[in-house]
Amino acid sequence: MMADQKAVLRLLKTARGQIDGIIRMVEEDRYCMDVSQQITAADAMLRRVNKEILTAHLKHCVEHAESDQERADKIDELVNALGKIL
């Protein structure tokens, strides 16, 4: 993986902390709109991590592909990933 590993790990650990907090909120039977807001925040964090990883893929793996076929394959992977995200 060519993404900034420290940044990715920091974001993932933050998301994990958010999810742990959401679990506690559910266990404590907290107000559903507060729980939903925290879920949205965790989702945004995971999307940010995914953006970092996909950006690195595009900038490194696609850009430095050794052949036209490998580049086309990497682009297809990216298009498939974006299809799942969108």
What pLDDT does residue 80 have? 93
Q: What is the pLDDT of residue 58?
A: 87
pLDDT tens for the 86 residues of the chain, in order? 778 899 999 999 999 999 999 999 999 999 999 999 999 999 999 999 999 999 988 888 888 889 999 999 999 999 999 999 88
The pLDDT assigned to 86 comes to 85
DSSP run (H or E) holding 24: helix 5-27
At residue 35, the pLDDT reads: 98
Tokens of 71: 């580049």
**Residue 53: domain span:** 5-85
CATH number assigned to the domain comprising residue 58: 1.20.58.1000
Give the separation between CA 57 and CA 63, rounded to whole angstroms.
9
How many structural domains compose the chain? 1
